[in-house]
Amino acid sequence: MTESVFELAPKTEPERQYYFMENASVLIKKREEKVGHHLSFHVTTFGCQMNAKDSEKMTGILTKLGLDEVAEETAADIVLFNTCTIRDNANQKFYGHLGTLNGKNHKNKNRIVAVCGCMMQEKTCVEKLKSSYGFVNIIFGTHNIYKLAELICLYLEKNENVIDVWDKPADIVEDIPAVRKYPFKSGVNIMYGCNNYCTYCIVPYVRGNERSRDAKEIIRECEKLAAEGVKEVMLLGQNVNSYGNRLRNSIGFPELLREVEKVNGIERIRFMTSHPKDLSDELIEVMKASSKICKHIHLPLQSGSTRILKAMNRCYTGEQYLDLALRIRKELPDTAITTDIIVGFPGETEEDVNDTIDMIRQVKYEGAFTFIYSPRTGTPAASMPGRQSKEWIKREFDRVLKAVQDESRLMAGRFLDNVEKVLVEEMNEQDDKLVTGRMSNNLMVHFPGDSSLIGKLVDVKLTEYRGFYYMGRIV
């Protein structure tokens, strides 16, 4: 490949990327001739469902190049890490993982190592890779994952490490190939980025401000997925309730749900995540009238204390949150509510934790992700005073966790003896005579079956509740 190949590349997307996919596949074949075997790849994903969706796109690109996907990263010729930086321990986990890959038992001088994702939007992380992990060949961020083939071309042509991290996002690029983990369900990005700037959260800084996809593109993707046999879609965004706010002549999220519901073949619609400040009465009414929208709302609380919520910049009070949650309970009684809770935020007191526990007991969540606050460099909360001792935080965390477990055990168990529709997702990991699936409310069910059921919606009698999951039988 000569410099003119880059000069001849189309200027428009996605045509430019398909051009580089063709050229990269030629370079891959030349490399295969050099090393004497067919090249393979492995993608390791850290973090959220947005990252998982990004990894599906990059897997699609690598497959388009003619590479074979392998299960073990140490066996792969191209290893791609899609990183998460939501908490500091996520960073440390990645560095340890990366170091192991280049350990003496796994060194491969011909291996190409690429790192992308949220960590790479932090300059200190990029500098650390450059100084301490020189075997990393390609570094890029969250805003240009669609450019993977172009970056591989650049590396293979020049045989020099490539760093391409953008400070700000550009236009959304559609029609990038993807390989889904499941043939019967799929995530669908409806927006990217976040405008909320919670004081503890790094996401707006690494993923940029909100950008909504055009509704027609979202519907077109759902129709394509349905034609491929997908039964369940999950609409993804950092705050789905604000979908369309900055898009000219756009519909809002409730109307988008109505449009997705019209897609023939799609039988279930999920969404993640809802910000309490933007969840509307219209959304509740749409869910109430729908036969496809799943009976599950993930509604992050973070704290039951209005004082702490203000310090977090959550833009709602404890009273407003409770009013919303109880309205959902009243209007959508069969809908499961799950949440996120942070313990140990700077300045938090025992009284604040008591407010959180009181909220848990009033809302009665079916489940909660409960975290100890982790300072993130670059966020306002990282420099806030008043953080309690580790011993205090551990004690209060245990109190919150017990309250969650007590309430969720009762609420999640209320469906015993019901017959529920279950989407079968996989064979059970512990017992090969059982299959595992999820109800509309996202609760897990195990019941007798074989692999022929995977991807099907079946009626299951819930015969036993075992604390956070059910046993059942097909009826």
* CATH number of the domain that residue 459 is part of: 2.40.50.140
Same domain, 134 and 23: yes
Domain-ending residue, one of 413, 437, 456: 413
Whether 236 shows a pLDDT value over 60: the answer reads yes
Angle at 423 between CA 418 and CA 424, to 5 degrees: 110
Both ends of the chain: CA-CA distance in Å?
Answer: 61
Q: Which residues pair with 234 in a beta bridge?
A: 187, 270
Same domain, 303 and 371: yes
Whether 3 shows a pLDDT value over 80: the answer reads no
Buried b (16+ CB within 10 A) or exposed e, 331-347: ebeebbbbbebbbbbbe
Same domain, 96 and 199: no
* pLDDT level of residue 358 (50, 70, 90 thresholds): very high
This prediction's pTM:
0.91
* CATH number of the domain that residue 324 is part of: 3.80.30.20
pLDDT average, residue stretch 394-421? 95
Q: For residues 171 and 79, give the distance between their C-alpha atoms in angstroms, rounded to a whole number.
A: 27
Handedness of CA 293, 294, 295, 300 (dihedral sign): negative
* CATH number of the domain that residue 77 is part of: 3.40.50.12160
45 phi/psi in degrees, rounded to 5: -110, 130
- Domain residue limits at 110: 3-164
Same domain, 403 and 256: yes
Give the closest residue to 255 by CA, choosing from 226, 298, 216, 302: 216
Same domain, 228 and 138: no
Listed in sequence order, the residues at least 6 apart from 306 whose beta carbon sits closer than 8 Å to its beta carbon are 317, 318, 319, 355
Tell me the pLDDT tens digit for each residue of 62-114: 999 999 999 999 999 999 999 998 877 778 889 988 988 887 667 788 899 99
Task: Write down the mean pLDDT value for the chain.
Answer: 94
Determine the pLDDT at residue 1. Answer: 47
Q: For residues 353 and 167, give the distance between their C-alpha atoms in angstroms, rounded to a whole number.
A: 37
Determine if the peptide bond prior to 273 is cis (ω within 30°). yes
Which DSSP string do the residues of 180-227 spell out, in sequence order? Answer: -S-SSEEEEE-EE--S---TT--HHHHH-S-EEPPHHHHHHHHHHHHH
Residue 30 host element (H or E): helix 15-35
For residue 184, CA distances in Å to 187, 226, 390, 426, 465 come to: 11, 9, 44, 11, 26
* pLDDT level of residue 5 (50, 70, 90 thresholds): confident
Determine the pLDDT at residue 39. Answer: 96
Which DSSP string do the residues of 352-378 spell out, in sequence order? Answer: HHHHHHHHHHHH--SEEEEEE----TT
Determine the pLDDT at residue 119. Answer: 93
Provide the domain count of the chain: 3
pLDDT average, residue stretch 212-223? 96
Same domain, 424 and 369: no
Same domain, 38 and 75: yes
Is position 179 within any domain? no
Same domain, 328 and 285: yes
Is position 451 within any domain? yes
What type of residue is 188? V
Q: Are 174 and 55 in contact (CB under 8 A)?
A: no
Same domain, 422 and 392: no
